[in-house]
């Protein structure tokens, strides 16, 4: 067999679609293929985001493919080559201990605190329209202001209270400020809800607390929680004592996130500098949020 080696050895190869097909023909069929994952990898390859890492393509000593089925199918689907470590001469039972380690989370891959990373992930999902954005896709958005906003918010109040410190509420706070909202008001209301300081809450924040206590507002309803967050952090609505959210409101909330983050990426560097967090707040871009 072409890929058979009696002793372990490794090399870096440029894997073409033709090579990928040849490698897949040796597979004993030990891996169930997940089409959605192939799609994600193929898209990353087309965008030129692929990097050589210690995770490679693996063949056992009989020359049979034991690892990287998804990557090879993605290469064929994308129609582009990618560089990879290729390991030959593995034991025939080596696949039994392949991919059994701890999966790297977005926090690990971004080198951020989990409380920050979940905001960055959710914001980038909405901005990019992808449930699993790659780090390369996320970086421009993070660097354009969302990263600073999320880190500063967590530094200001790092509560873990389930609903109010969940990713949708934190994202609503960050986007409101990035969008020109009153930073001091947003931060004060965020802290008041996280600490359940009822006296410091606006009427709209108090209304949300009551909805959470009654079960009308639930943390797992991400888009709805985002829309409720935008209502609470809007200083012009601080006196509203009832929060009602429709499907149109949730759609508008997601669109606002997408619009603000995409526009932030398109800003000139000097414009970004004018939106830094200072004295407990960050001044915004001046965009409107009439739909929320």
- Give the torsion through C-alpha atoms of 167, 136, 258, 245, to 10 deg: -20
Q: What percent of the chain has a predicted confidence (pLDDT) above 70?
A: 85
Is residue 38 within 8 Å of residue 76, measured between CB atoms? Answer: no
Give pLDDT, residue 281: 40
Query: What domains appear along the chain, each with residue ranges and CATH number?
Result: 9-97 (3.90.1530.10), 106-282 (no CATH)
| Edge-first strand listing for the sheet containing 82-90 | 9-15, 82-90, 57-60, 65-67
The DSSP code for 65 is E
Give pLDDT, residue 267: 57
Q: Which of 80, 79, 87 is nearest to 12 (CA)?
A: 87
Give pLDDT, residue 277: 41
The neighbouring-strand residues paired with 14 are 83
Going by C-beta distance under 8 Å and a sequence separation of 6 or more, which residues neighbour residue 241? 203, 204, 206, 207
The backbone region for 68, taken as left when phi is positive above 0, alpha when psi lies in -120 to 50, beta otherwise, is: left
pLDDT tens per residue, the chain (292 residues)?
Answer: 788 888 889 999 999 999 999 999 998 865 678 887 888 788 889 988 888 887 789 999 999 998 889 999 999 999 999 999 999 998 887 665 555 444 668 887 888 888 999 999 999 999 999 888 888 889 999 988 899 889 888 888 876 677 888 899 999 999 998 998 988 899 899 999 998 999 999 999 999 999 999 989 887 899 999 999 999 999 999 999 889 999 999 999 999 999 999 998 875 544 444 444 443 343 333 333 333 3
Sign of CA dihedral 22, 25, 28, 33: positive
Tokens of 83: 């560089």
Beta carbons within 10 angstroms of residue 218's beta carbon: 13
Give pLDDT, residue 292: 39
Q: Which of 156, 89, 143 is nearest to 261 (CA)?
A: 143
Give pLDDT, residue 131: 87
pTM of the predicted structure, to 2 decimals: 0.65
b/e map of 47-67 (b: 16 or more CB within 10 Å)? eeebeeeeebbbbbbbebbbb
Render pLDDT for 140-192 as a digit per residue (tens, 0 to 9). Answer: 999 888 998 898 888 888 766 778 888 999 999 999 989 989 888 998 999 99
């Amino acid at each position: 067999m072409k890929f058979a080696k009696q002793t372990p050895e490794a090399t870096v190869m440029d894997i073409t679609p033709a090579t990928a097909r040849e490698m897949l023909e040796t597979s004993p069929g030990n891996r169930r293929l997940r089409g959605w994952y192939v799609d994600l990898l193929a898209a990353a390859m087309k965008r030129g985001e692929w990097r050589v890492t210690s995770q490679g393509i693996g063949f056992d000593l009989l020359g049979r493919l034991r690892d990287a089925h998804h990557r090879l199918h993605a290469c064929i689907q994308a129609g582009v080559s990618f560089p990879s470590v290729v390991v030959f001469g593995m034991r025939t039972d080596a696949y039994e201990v392949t991919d059994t380690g701890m999966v790297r989370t977005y926090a690990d891959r971004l080198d951020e605190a989990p409380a920050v990373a979940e905001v960055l992930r959710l914001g980038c999902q909405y901005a990019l329209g992808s449930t699993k954005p790659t780090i390369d896709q996320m970086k421009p958005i993070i660097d354009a202001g969302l990263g600073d906003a999320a880190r500063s918010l967590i530094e200001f109040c790092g509560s873990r209270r389930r609903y109010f410190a969940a990713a949708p509420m934190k994202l609503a706070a960050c986007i409101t400020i990035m969008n020109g909202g009153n930073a001091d008001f947003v931060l004060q209301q965020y802290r008041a809800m996280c600490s359940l300081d009822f006296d410091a809450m606006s009427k709209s924040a108090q209304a949300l607390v009551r909805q959470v206590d009654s079960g009308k507002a639930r943390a797992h309803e991400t888009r709805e929680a985002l829309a409720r967050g935008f209502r609470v952090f809007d200083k012009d609505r601080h006196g509203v004592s009832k929060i009602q959210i429709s499907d149109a409101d949730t759609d508008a909330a997601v669109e606002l996130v997408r619009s603000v983050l995409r526009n932030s990426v398109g800003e000139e560097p000097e414009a970004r500098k004018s939106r830094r967090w200072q004295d407990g707040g960050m001044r915004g871009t001046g965009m409107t949020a009439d739909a929320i």
